[in-house]
Chains A and B, each alone.
Chain A
């Protein structure tokens, strides 16, 4: 257990569905992240939140919509996804964003399959 939980662990959805991924951290961290991990590709940084404000959005399609209501919770809202969006979505947190040299703690991930 890393102190970062993600739900659901597995999700299968059609291209017209709307679903949300949830991440919760119990570490008192101020920064939270969404990463996408596809087969045979490096982890792709999607979004960064620091103190509940989005500080980075790495050219992610608008069908992915993040939400950070407080420093402990992070959501990724999904709508009209494409089959190529099937991947492992990882949430992470760290004490601060930026080059403070703090390690990141990852959740177990949500395995998303888009049919």
Chain B
């Protein structure tokens, strides 16, 4: 069953702008992860945030987690054309494996 739900489904921005994607989930988690997928390729891990953390940074990425609202956001600052991809949140609520949402498709135009 689907655990994460990303919002928006699609996002189009200009280079240099910030991109914000949101993820909501249904059950308690130990951690939440964000992944990126270039068209037709495998997923690449971006960042992991644990349930006792509220914010985490990695380069141009900033992730927040609000366990009371069961939601997370991924902010990409100063977007580049190379950031064009689909972004997925994934949770470990299933126990043995990650469960992914439908993803947000980000398009960054130059």
Chain B residues lying within 8 Å of A42, measured Cβ to Cβ, are 2, 4, 100-103
Bound Cα distance A56, B98 (Å): 12
Contact A55 B96, beta carbon cutoff 8 Å: yes
Chain A interface: which size bin?
20 to 34
Complex Cα distance, B96 from A31, in Å, reads: 9
Contact B96 A97 (CB under 8 A): yes
Knowing A2-B42, A103-B33, the reply to whether A56 touches B97 (Cβ < 8 A) is yes
Q: Is B31 an interface residue (CB 8 A)?
A: yes
B33 smallest CB distance to A (angstroms): 6
Contact present for A2 and B44 (CB under 8 Å): yes
A48: Cβ under 8 A from any B Cβ: yes
B92 at the interface (CB under 8 A from A): yes
> Sorted from nearest, which 5 A-B pairs have the closest CB atoms?
A106-B42, A103-B45, A43-B100, A106-B43, A99-B30
Residue positions of A touching B, CB distance < 8 A: 2, 4, 6, 31, 33, 35, 40-43, 45, 48, 50, 55-56, 88, 90, 92, 97-99, 101, 103-109, 111
